[in-house]
Structures are given as C-alpha cells and as structure tokens.
Amino acid sequence: MLVIGGQRSRVGNSKSILTWKDPWLLRMDGNSYISTSVVQGTELWKVAYMKVTQGQSWNCGTGIVNALFNDRDK
C-alpha cells in the first residue's frame, strides 16, 4: 500500500497536512496528491487522523485507509 509505505519524508507529525488538498504521498510518477474523491465528512481531515496514537504507523486495523482510498492511493 502506498499510503503505508510511501509517506513523503517531509510530512513530519502530519498534523498540519490536509489529506485531500496537500501533496503528501511519495509517488514514482511525481504526482503526490491523493487521486481518490473526497469522502463527505472528511474534507478537513489531517493526515495525522489516519495514524495510530503515537503517530509512527498507519491505522489500518480499523480499515480507515482501505475504506477511504482508491487502489492508486493505498
């Protein structure tokens, strides 16, 4: 999964990065923006919302990443 394995190195704590508007994915094609359509109710979500409490790994156990993103962005 790209989100799990391809977070950009300059994301930091990800608390100021908007999931849908900011370029934060590490992509081989250079397009670091999410291509998935915005999910209603998550418009202002920060990337940090998808990480576990300590902020070191992705919250995949609840299925958030799988539920929100298309295959390109996972």
Could you read off the pLDDT of 25-66 as tens digits, one per residue?
877 888 889 999 999 999 999 888 877 665 566 666 567 888
DSSP conformation class of 65: H
Phi, psi (deg, nearest 5) at residue 40: -55, 135
User: Is pTM beyond 0.95 here?
Assistant: no
Asked whether the predicted pLDDT for residue 13 surpasses 50, the reply is yes
Asked whether the predicted pLDDT for residue 1 surpasses 60, the reply is no
Beta bridge partners of 46: 18
